[in-house]
Structure 1
Amino acid sequence: MKLEKIKIATPIGIAKINGDTDGIRSITFSDKNSPVTKTIPPVLQECVTQLQEYFEGKRTVFTVKLNPQGTEFQRKAWQSLQNIPFGKTLSYSEQSKILHKPKAIRAVANANGKNLIAILQPCHRIIGSDGELTGYAWGLWRKKWLLEHESGQKQERLF
């Protein structure tokens, strides 16, 4: 059960993927231009394939096994993200209501901020109640790009 680590090129920068036979633990992005992994370990191949299909516009649902590392509340918040349909968004307030914690908006936002499985646990689909793009650990420009990619439209409002 060795943790494998790779780097792949994507349209939004270098993605670092960590995982093992228990599932994907993280997909994070770096602004540093670092070399990509030449040989993909078999345990991460399906994740790489599905991400490539996503970026090519051929995939809207992921079936890769995930193994998020966090508190019980964080994992529940992250699980709820997977129920947001491709191309749709929710507000932090709406997400907190789904979790039956309507007053825990900040806790939900904090949990989303600690999400280390980008795209597959789509915290980029959470926006402010006023429709504004808010917080994204890997940069608002990536969040904007992902939302535009999924909606097929350019985001009109950013700030």
Structure 2
Amino acid sequence: MKMFLSHLDSPLGAMLLVTDAQQVVRALDFADHKTRLYRSLRDHYGDVELTEIPTPVEIADALTRYFAGELEALDVLRTATAGSELQRRVWAALRRIPAGRTTTYGKLAKQLGFDDPRAAIDVGAANGANPIALIVPCHRVIASNGDLKGYAWGLYRKRWLLEHEKAMAPRKEEPQTAMLPGF
């Protein structure tokens, strides 16, 4: 399968974007997780031929606007993913979580029609396998006790995104105490 690879910068680090011929987003990952990106492409699509291109204008513009504070800017981007039926259902449900809101793994499982509380584990696994960072907002899913739990691209990025979206209060900096001479 032929796909296209673009490089872009973000406040969270360099990113790698994979699109198809119709400029549909197939994967978006951070450059420091390049191995994860290639493994995901291989697992979902088999042999992929990647050709480097400039970032498509519509996608670059939406990401720029999102990072500038226009949180709904990513909603218009088209995505397509391969994966199991459960994964695709979870990823579609993630796109329906509005910016500035969070949900839990358990609530997401119930929303998808699962009554067994253990289904939250499967939903969490599907969430963790999400190949499209930011646009498919798996960062908006947290533990029922409010803990952030895992995030494939690092908890510091998850925290940053939730703070950026105002779904979480910014961490308070610890006051620095200065040592005065003679004390």
Deviation, structure 1 residue 59: 3.6
Aligned-pair identity (%): 38
Matched, 1:57 2:72: no
Q: Using the alignment, how far apart are the partners of 1:133 and 1:73 within structure 2? A: 22
Rg: which structure is higher? 2
In the TM superposition, what whole-angstrom CA distance separates every residue of 1:73-105 from its partner, at most 9, and x where no partner exists? 100000001111110000000000000013211
Kindly report structure 1 stretches of 4+ aligned residues shifted beyond 4 Å. none
Matched, 1:79 2:59: no
Deviation, structure 1 residue 126: 0.1
Q: Using the alignment, how far apart are the partners of 2:88 and 2:140 within structure 1? A: 17
Deviation, structure 1 residue 23: 1.3
Matched, 1:114 2:126: no
In the TM superposition, what whole-angstrom CA distance separates every residue of 1:45-67 from its partner, at most 9, and x where no partner exists? 21111011100112424211111
Q: CA RMSD in A?
A: 2.0
- The answer (yes or no) to whether the contact 1:22–1:67 under 8 Å persists in 2 is no
**TM-score (norm. length: structure 1):** 0.86
Q: Unaligned 5+ residue runs, structure 1?
A: 33-37
In the TM superposition, what whole-angstrom CA distance separates every residue of 1:7-55 from its partner, at most 9, and x where no partner exists? 11100011110011161100011338xxxxx9625xx321111011100
Q: Using the alignment, how far apart are the partners of 1:94 and 1:18 within structure 2? A: 30
In structure 2, give the amino acid aligned to 1:30: A
SS in 1 for 2:134: coil
Aligned residues: 149
